[in-house]
Amino acid sequence: MSTMVKLALPTRFYRQMRLFLVRIIALFLSYFSIIARVKFLARMAGKLRFLDSREDEQTRGITMKASGMSLLYGPMLVNLMDSPGHVDFSSEVSATLLLSDIALLLVDVVEGVCSQTQALLRQSIMYGQTVILVINKLDRLRVELKMETKEAYAHIIHLLEAINSCVSQVVQCLALEDDSVERIEDLEASLHFRPTKGNVIFSSAIHGYAFGLEDFAAIYSEKLKIPKTELTEALFGDFYISGGKIKSDAASRGKTQLFVQFVLEPLWALHDCGLVTSDLPKLLQLIGKIGLRVKSSRTPDAFDEAMRTWLPVSQACFRCCARAPSPRTAYRIQYLHFLRYLETYMTIQALVVKFIAIEGQKFSVCRIFSGQVTVGEQLYVIGRRSRLTYVRLLIFCLCIIWSRSSPTKRAYSGRLNNFFCRKFPKHVFQNATLCSEAINEGLDVGMKYGEPLVRVSVSTLNLEDMERLRDGLKSLSILDSSLRVFELDNGELAMVTAGEVHLQKCLKDLEDLGFRDLEVSKPIVPFLETVVADINMTLAQIQDQVTECRLRDSSLHIRLRVVPLADEVVTLLEEYADLLSFIKRGNLEETCLADLKSALLSSCEKHLPQVRGSWWYRKSSSDIADMVDKIWSFGPDRARANILFNAIPNYKRKSIWDKCEFGIRPLDQAMVAGFELFVSAGPLCHEVMRGVAVVVEEWTVDEEDIAVAGQLMTAMRSTCQAGAKKVALRLVAAMYRCTVTAAVQVLGKVHSVLGQRKGKILNEDVNEATGQYEVTALIPVIETFSFCDHLRKSTSGMASAQLEFSHWQLIDEDPYWQPTTLEEMEEYGVKGDSPNHARGYMDAIRRRKGLPTDDVIVVSAEKQRNLKKNK
């Protein structure tokens, strides 16, 4: 199903809404949190962070929580929303995308395309947004970079080319993922940014002005006697005017382009007087020529007042929004399958996007797609792509989002609404669908955001407050979709956050809830364990990698081998993790089961025989197909990307693809439970395993021996651990993609800091406009705590970094490696003094978990003791 094309619905769908023309704006990479035309805010546009209501948002100068307000602009009701730009709060961005139809993408004209621009563009296009490009900080080209008009015009053209290149890459990637997308070239052209299309705004938010080509076309059309539409088409391009007519090929003929002559030259003259030379008399003279009068006596204030009056930000933004497809005429295709179940377009349909707290009560933020909701309405709650038991939800209060929420008796489609219920049932969760009819399935809308990785344990000094802390964490996890809260086996409460900044925000929220004396552990980052193939091993050595277990005079005999899976197979298993959960429960539909089996079989036949040094190497397609048919079980919820194979000759049990339990031996589930215990806690440091296959070749058990039956689960786990130690064990670390922007004089210090944090530099490029270097590197998540502070201190504030989760990467170091040959001893020392990062990570995890390590109390006992005490 396509996620990019937009289709129209019948006009009767919106007949009840003729009085409301709704525009919903998502604000990305927000440099300034308000660009609205409100009388009491007009003078503070670009300066007052009106939508940043949290204290830590004001302190840090970043947006951490999506917020919104409703604005009236002529006949339009605009719901303006400000979403965070920091990667730790990507769930807020996803929620904002689901609530909105139009996205204003702000890009710094000097900095250009940053590391997150492409990610934001991808999300916007996937969710069917109408994206409007706002090229911000136009004043920097003249004030900071001292560019002339022609240089600035060439710079803007290069910037648009770079952004359109990002759009093309996003469309091509989505087309590869979605085979139903057709006419890619036409779709790509429709999404490109061109000032002549009206989807590009030039602005300087700090000075309060913005404009489109039509603003200057309206000014010059009467003077030049050229129609406004014709002049708008030629105002940005290689055109010039000669003899009252528009002609092309201005550059080749040495003529000045229209954009330079009619747009940049007047703006540059005003910027020179107001910001460069501070010539107030000349500035007032220029202001008078454009028919304006200002009251300010200071040059910077006079410049801001003139620009704000001449080219107001709100007018340019709202005009672009008015040209964008309306919710009444454009509807995103991913919602259309939901409508086919409805008997009438007047049926109430709403999507629960997120939860918020207002005056101590929990409200759900919903997007109404059709119908109108009144106080006392009873709605069904339907899960995403699932047929849950229908729950009737009684809504008795509604709020419309503004700077403050205000109650109302009725809510219409197209608006943002807060629904309140006296007691939300547990079935009401994010992405749940509210409908007035009992339909088979809800909206299939995915909210994709970064996986939370940073875990801390939280407790209170007063044990009597633990129950209240448990309730507070539960409420916080409902309000924050990126937060995971659970209780450990030892009774400790743990929360998992998206990053360091997100962790600090959650702790501030707990403090606001009244928890002042909290004990917070050091951040914990998870690792994964896996096994890899050794390409130096012979076939005979590989065949000998079998492990056997015998108990009570052969009453129990297990023989198995542990082998690695190909990376492509592991990726496939992780993509189908949800379906694997349904398989374990036995409630997956036959069509989905067949599709999954076909995809897995194709991937295994293609990639497993190519894993050199493994048991799979050069196996035939028939052997691989036979093994896929004999899959015994997949891993548990925490470790789905692992497989248990049944290669027992005389045990013809039904595979996991068959729902029938015919032929299953009584202690079958004990074997599966032992396998799940093994992959849930690996042999290195009891971390979750990934990409491991266990092939059981023989299993005999005396089912009448009660003692053996009780030991089967433990025996299976121990045998798997022993088998894993016969192959190469490795750790897998979570990696951040780090983008550092630094001046050339501190580039060496940036490399030094990245080296200390075990970073790997991928790319290093220079921004020709700013002269700053952009360094792209991969850095383990475990090494990123206080990384930004360390970088700023080392470079005296001349470098900044942005971190974003990238992937899980194998640490290609043997944790148990010791020098054995003479050459290794000469190079690394007898004790292997060179740092082994994998061993360091493994020992740190084992110490934290209370597992034994090889640490020695006395080191180098033959050396003489130094009695000097350093004070």
Distances (CA, A) of 726 to 232, 679, 719, 858: 72, 16, 11, 31
More confident of the two residues 264 and 184? 264
Does position 316 have pLDDT exceeding 90, yes or no? no
pLDDT, tens only, 398-425: 555 444 556 777 776 666 566 655 555 5
- Average pLDDT in the 85-109 region? 74
**Topology of the domain comprising 1-208+312-330:** Rossmann fold (3.40.50)
Q: Say which CATH architecture domain 223-310 belongs to.
A: Alpha-Beta Complex (3.90)
pLDDT, tens only, 517-542: 888 888 888 899 999 998 888 888 88
Least confident span in 319-323, 419-423, 456-460, 610-614: 419-423
pLDDT, tens only, 649-705: 888 777 777 765 555 677 888 889 999 999 999 999 999 999 999 999 998 888 777
- Average pLDDT in the 766-788 region? 86
More confident of the two residues 827 and 612? 612
pLDDT, tens only, 272-307: 999 999 999 999 999 998 888 888 889 999 999 999
Task: Return the pLDDT at 441.
Answer: 60
Q: What percent of the chain has pLDDT over 70?
A: 76
Task: Return the pLDDT at 61.
Answer: 62
What are the structural domain ranges in the chain?
1-208+312-330, 223-310, 341-435, 454-524, 530-726, 817-871
Question: What is the rounded CA–CA span in Å between residue 609 and residue 87?
Answer: 39
- Average pLDDT in the 606-616 region? 91
Does position 587 have pLDDT exceeding 90, yes or no? no
β-pairing, 692-701 vs 433-435, is unpaired
Task: Return the pLDDT at 37.
Answer: 39
30: pLDDT confidence band, cut at 50, 70 and 90?
Answer: very low
- Smallest CA-to-CA distance from 390 within 348, 432, 356, 355 is with 432
Q: Do 648 and 696 meet the contact criterion of CB atoms below 8 Å apart?
A: yes
Q: Do 654 and 630 meet the contact criterion of CB atoms below 8 Å apart?
A: no
Tokens 């200071």 belong to which residue? 298
Least confident span in 12-16, 282-286, 410-414, 841-845: 12-16
Does position 387 have pLDDT exceeding 60, yes or no? no
pLDDT, tens only, 785-839: 889 889 989 998 888 888 888 889 999 888 988 777 777 777 776 665 567 889 9
Task: Return the pLDDT at 275.
Answer: 93
Pick one of 3.40.47.10, 3.40.50.2020, 3.30.420.480, 3.30.70.870 as the CATH number of 454-524: 3.30.70.870
Task: Return the pLDDT at 861.
Answer: 72
Q: What percent of the chain has pLDDT over 90?
A: 29
Least confident span in 144-153, 295-304, 388-397, 576-585: 388-397
Least confident span in 169-173, 570-574, 606-610, 657-661: 657-661
85: pLDDT confidence band, cut at 50, 70 and 90?
Answer: low
pLDDT, tens only, 229-238: 999 999 999 9
pLDDT, tens only, 246-269: 999 998 898 999 999 999 999 999
Neighbouring residues of 502: CB distance < 8 A, sequence distance ≥ 6: 88, 89, 452, 454, 482, 483
Does position 341 have pLDDT exceeding 60, yes or no? no
Strand ranges in 602-755 using DSSP code E only, listed in sequence order: 631-634, 642-646, 688-689, 692-701, 728-742
Task: Return the pLDDT at 334.
Answer: 44
- Average pLDDT in the 420-441 region? 63
pLDDT, tens only, 122-145: 878 877 778 889 999 999 999 998
Two tokens, residue 820: 């054995």
Task: Return the pLDDT at 77.
Answer: 67
pTM: 0.74
The most confident of the ranges 217-226, 655-664, 714-723 is 714-723
Domains 1-208+312-330 and 454-524 share a fold: no
Does position 29 have pLDDT exceeding 50, yes or no? no
Give CB contacts under 8 A, 24+ apart, made by 842-847.
842/684, 842/685, 842/731, 842/815, 845/527, 845/685, 845/686, 845/687, 846/685, 846/686
21: pLDDT confidence band, cut at 50, 70 and 90?
Answer: very low
761: pLDDT confidence band, cut at 50, 70 and 90?
Answer: very high
Does position 363 have pLDDT exceeding 50, yes or no? yes
Does position 329 have pLDDT exceeding 50, yes or no? no
Does position 17 have pLDDT exceeding 50, yes or no? no
- CATH placement of domain 530-726: 3.30.230.10
- Average pLDDT in the 477-491 region? 79
Instruction: Return the bridge partners of 810, or none.
Output: 732
Instruction: Return the bridge partners of 698, or none.
Output: 559
- Average pLDDT in the chain: 79
164: pLDDT confidence band, cut at 50, 70 and 90?
Answer: very high
Q: Give the class (CATH, top level) of 341-435.
A: mainly beta
- Average pLDDT in the 196-213 region? 91
Does position 778 have pLDDT exceeding 80, yes or no? yes
Question: What is the rounded CA–CA span in Å between residue 483 and residue 496?
Answer: 6
- Smallest CA-to-CA distance from 691 within 562, 592, 855, 848 is with 562
Cβ neighbours around 152 below 10 Å, total = 21
Question: What is the rounded CA–CA span in Å between residue 341 and residue 334?
Answer: 14
More confident of the two residues 277 and 368? 277
Return the amino acid letter for 471: D
